[in-house]
Amino acid sequence: MTEATSAAVTLVAMPVQRLMPTPESADLIELTRDLARRELAPRVDAAEKAAEMPRDVYLTLGEAGLLSLPYPEEYGGGGQPYEVYLQVIEEIAHAWMSVAVGTSVHSLSCYALATVGSETQRKELLPDMLSGRLLGAYGLSEPDAGSDVSAISTRARRSEDGSSYTVRGRKAWISNAGYADFYTTFVRTGDDPTRGLSCLLIPADTDGLSFGAPERKMGLASDPVREVVLDDAVVDAGRLIGEEGEGMKIALAALDSGRLGIAAAATGLAQSALDVAIAYAKERRQFGRAIADNQGLAFLLADMEAAVSSGRTAYLYAARLRDAGRPFTREAAVAKLAATDAAMKVTTDAVQVLGGAGYTQDFPVERMMRDAKVTQIFEGTNQIQRLVISRQLLK
């Protein structure tokens, strides 16, 4: 097949029917599809191949109000329920997975301030963070603290007059690193493994904050991931979010919500792979007929559809619980597990449907397969999701 056919296949319109709760949220989906079609789809292929972080794309999304949807209007947010915000993330992921992840990480990094920050902090800092001009990063993981957050060793020592913290340590695997304007960072202020953690909102231009080399990743190339090195970085005490010792609680609560962003993004990615597979299966002919005319292949497509829909249903259910103020930790973990395993399966099967073509970089499904893998790893590996789910079941 030619380049032109491959591009045509890439640009299949988003086919998902959405039942939106309000007319304005339906318009928001329209706007997102328009942005995806005109700003994301034409650029994803080249940017991912060049491992380019499209900072300008985030400015465009920010101007359209897409970087602040789930936060209150009084601070410049969109005041939208998670049910709506997550479907926007899914739409973005359908066109460009890295940008959906970057958007979700940005939301995650605003979470601490928006939920436990003092009124003074919120008034002072949140409007800028939600303006769409700034981008955030979330610093939880460390080289020796991945699944085990209680092993965090980055130290923050308070100055004698109590006015600042001196922070020393390394944060690993930080998405948006080097491009973000603020880093929501979890640090150790006390020795108790879980109750000794605190949350600091560190500006990018802080002295002593620097970056490691970009990680050479398997996929998600346009999401720049690096270490954030804190070498006696001095952070104003006014940047402590919540109380000292509340860090673990904040981080876990943020992840409950962040996980839903990843579930939604994984769903959009899987939908995109399925769309390419369907278009290809109808066009490609072998044995004198379209390959889709073989039930063995058509059933593969049916299983892919069932997997994508299950992931979507799971994240929407968790989102609606969250929007209603109900506990949703278990359901969020189920959604993350179901949607990301679905994404892995569906993208792998999409490569299968395209045969040899699927294994080449002339078609987007090999990239989607590589992008899918990380969704089973970050924001809590899928083993950790099982840990969360089973603990909830057995408590």
Partner 1 sequence: MNIVVCVKYVPDAQGDRTFNEDNTTDRANVDGLLSELDEYAVEAALKIVEAGEGEVTVVTVGPEQAADALKKALQMGADKAVHVSDEAIHGSDAVATSLVLAEAVKKIGSPDLVLTGLSSTDGTMSVVPAMLAERLGLPQVTQVSTLEVADGTVKGRRDGDAVSESLEASLPALVSVTDQINEPRYPSFKGIMAAKKKPVETWSLADLGVDAGQVGLDAAWTKVESFAQRPPREQGEIVTDEGDGGTKLAEFLAAQKFV
Ligand X SMILES: Cc1cc2nc3c(=O)[nH]c(=O)nc-3n(C[C@H](O)[C@H](O)[C@H](O)COP(=O)(O)OP(=O)(O)OC[C@H]3O[C@@H](n4cnc5c(N)ncnc54)[C@H](O)[C@@H]3O)c2cc1C
**Residues 132-151: x where in contact with ligand X by CB under 6 A, - otherwise, as a string:** ------xxxx----xx----
Given the complex with ligand X, which of 275 and 379 has the nearer CB atom? Answer: 379
CB of 14 or CB of 384, closer to ligand X? 384
CA 308/CA 268 separation, integer angstroms: 8
Q: Which of the choices ligand X, partner 1, none does residue 383 contact, using the CB cut-off of 5 to 8 A by kind?
A: ligand X
Nearer to ligand X, 215 or 293 (CB): 215
Q: Which does 370 bind (CB under 5 to 8 A by kind): partner 1, ligand X, none?
A: none
String marking each residue 129-168 x if it binds partner 1 according to CB under 8 A: ----------------------------------------
Q: Residue 257 Cβ, how far from partner 1 at the closest point, in Å?
A: 19
Q: Considering only the stretches 29-37, 173-181, 230-238, 325-333, report the one whose residues sit in contact with partner 1 under the rule CB under 8 A.
A: 29-37
Size of the site for partner 1 (CB under 8 A): 16
List, by residue number, the catalytic residues. Answer: 379
Q: Which positions from 33 to 72 touch partner 1 by CB under 8 A, shown as an x/- string?
A: -xx------------------------x--xxxx--x---
The yes or no reply on residue 110 touching partner 1 (CB under 8 A) is no
Rounded to a whole number, what is the largest CA-CA distance in the chain? Answer: 81
- Of 37, 217, 249, 320, the one binding ligand X by CB under 6 A: 217
Residue 267 near which of partner 1, ligand X, none (CB within 5-8 Å, type-dependent): none
- Looking at 92-100, 173-181, 235-243, 282-290, which segment touches ligand X (CB under 6 A)? 173-181
Binding site for ligand X (CB under 6 A): 105, 138-141, 146-147, 173-175, 217, 220, 225, 374, 377-381, 383-384, 387
